[in-house]
């Protein structure tokens, strides 16, 4: 059932993507805001209580609905899984920015490409040369694809195999969402989340994404240049071992970028762009699942200078990874049916 739920959700999301300002994202936003305002008292244990309330409660409700629908009719439970995946999984929540920037670069219109990148990520891209535009677009797009697709697939597949329905997709997306939202609130006027709550949310997110980011990196290696991807992965791990003073979430992202760099032979890493805040908060979190402040400076990785052709290579890399995931899900579903 997992394979067909993912397949239907991807087809539905491609045919009719969620509109900006939809009630689902607004609901997530309101829930995270309410939890932080009601439960965040500034202490570490308050931070964990707030995080558990904001993330685990929606996850448990997802499981409860799944079990209730399963008792009524299997098809209702299947429809519930498709619906949850539809709002948590998919490319169309960020891919139009990627496509528009690529088209602008193909036309030689670098000014438009800079404007689109700045609008997408709310960064200052006014002085970026062409190669740096490409580099940042690749980095943002690959990490957004991981957070919107591959990470969701990983957690969904594991918990669905345990009989918990689409709970894994909700757990993963809500963990990412609250970590990003509470960090963002601290940089906006008014009362933001406490440092304790931000630390808890970022730590929890780093733990939850620890395995998925490595699975995504391995998938990129398998469908790309395997030896180069593994070599880049190993070099990055040696430069930033587990005990290094680097946040787990940042290390996770660095591994994905290192694997991508080797898989398509492109130079990634370098200075991050400066974030600017010009849009209402409700719009900030519909732009692809990655806040500009998440992109810290990373070591430059070996590879060719970023070119527009690399954008097409990255698209092929991502879609081959999707096919790999779908094949694995199909085999697991077949094994369960035969078993």
Answer whether residue 6 shows pLDDT above 90: yes
Please choose, from the candidates 196, 137, 207, 200, the residue with its C-alpha nearest in 3D space to the C-alpha of residue 172: 207
Radius of gyration of the CA atoms of the chain, in A: 20
The whole-number pLDDT of residue 282 equals 46
The whole-number pLDDT of residue 41 equals 85
Alpha-carbon gap, residue 107 to 88, rounded angstroms: 33
Nearest 5°: phi and psi at 272? -85, 155
Alpha-carbon gap, residue 175 to 208, rounded angstroms: 8
Please choose, from the candidates 312, 6, 306, the residue with its C-alpha nearest in 3D space to the C-alpha of residue 149: 6
- Which of 34-48, 243-257, 283-297 has the weakest average pLDDT? 283-297
Q: What is the mean pLDDT of the chain?
A: 86
Please choose, from the candidates 246, 16, 303, 287, the residue with its C-alpha nearest in 3D space to the C-alpha of residue 143: 287
Residue 141 buriedness (CB in 10 A; 0-12 / 13-18 / 19+): buried
On the CB side of 36, CA atoms within 13 Å amount to 26
The whole-number pLDDT of residue 288 equals 47
Answer whether residue 306 shows pLDDT above 80: yes
What is the total count of domains within the chain? 1
Burial pattern 286-324, b for ≥16 Cβ within 10 A else e, equals bbbbbbbbbbeebeebbbeebebebbebbbebbebbbeb
Read off the pLDDT of each residue in 120-147 and give the average, rounded to a whole number.
90
Q: Which residue has the higher pLDDT, 297 or 322?
A: 322
Q: Which residue has the higher pLDDT, 298 or 251?
A: 251
Q: Which residue has the higher pLDDT, 177 or 238?
A: 177
Give me the domain span that covers residue 330. 2-338
Over the stretch 153-176, which tens digit does the pLDDT of each residue have? 999 999 998 999 999 999 999 999
Alpha-carbon gap, residue 274 to 289, rounded angstroms: 17
Read off the pLDDT of each residue in 319-333 and give the average, rounded to a whole number.
92
Characterise 290 by phi-psi region: left (phi > 0), alpha (psi -120 to 50), beta (else): beta
Q: How many CB atoms are closer than 10 A to CB 6?
A: 28
Residue 172 near residue 208 (C-beta atoms within 8 A): yes
Nearest 5°: phi and psi at 75? -65, -35
Q: Averaging pLDDT over each range in 111-115, 122-126, 273-277, 300-304, which range is the top one?
A: 111-115
Give SS3 for 21. coil
The whole-number pLDDT of residue 275 equals 65
């Amino acid at each position: 059932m997992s394979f067909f739920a993912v397949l239907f959700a991807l087809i539905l999301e491609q045919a009719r993507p969620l509109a900006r300002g939809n009630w689902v994202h607004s609901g997530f936003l309101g829930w995270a805001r309410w939890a932080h305002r009601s439960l965040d008292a500034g202490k570490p244990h308050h931070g964990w209580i707030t995080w558990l309330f904001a993330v685990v409660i929606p996850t448990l409700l997802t499981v409860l609905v799944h079990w209730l629908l399963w008792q009524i009719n299997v098809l209702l439970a299947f429809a519930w899984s498709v619906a949850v995946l539809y709002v948590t999984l998919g490319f169309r929540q960020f891919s139009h920015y990627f496509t528009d920037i690529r088209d602008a670069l193909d036309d030689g219109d670098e000014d438009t490409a800079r404007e689109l990148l700045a609008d997408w990520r709310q960064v200052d891209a006014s002085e970026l040369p062409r190669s740096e535009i490409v580099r940042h677009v690749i980095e943002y797009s690959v990490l957004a694809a991981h957070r919107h697709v591959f990470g969701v697939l990983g957690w969904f597949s594991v918990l669905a195999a345990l009989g918990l329905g689409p709970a894994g997709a909700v757990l993963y997306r809500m963990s990412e969402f609250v970590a990003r939202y509470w960090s963002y609130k601290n940089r906006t006027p008014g009362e933001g989340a406490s440092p304790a709550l931000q630390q808890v949310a970022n730590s929890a997110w780093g733990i939850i994404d620890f395995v998925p980011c490595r699975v995504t990196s391995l998938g990129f290696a398998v469908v790309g240049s395997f030896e180069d991807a593994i070599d880049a992965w190993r070099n990055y791990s040696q430069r930033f071992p587990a005990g290094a003073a680097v946040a787990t979430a940042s290390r996770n992202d660095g591994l994905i970028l290192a694997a991508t760099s080797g898989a398509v032979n492109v130079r990634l890493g370098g200075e991050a762009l400066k974030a600017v805040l010009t849009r209402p908060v409700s719009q900030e979190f519909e732009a692809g699942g990655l806040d500009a402040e998440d992109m810290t400076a990373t070591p430059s990785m070996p590879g060719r200078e970023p070119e527009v052709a690399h954008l097409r290579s990255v698209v092929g890399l991502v879609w081959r990874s999707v096919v790999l995931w779908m094949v694995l899900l199909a085999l697991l579903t077949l094994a369960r049916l035969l078993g």
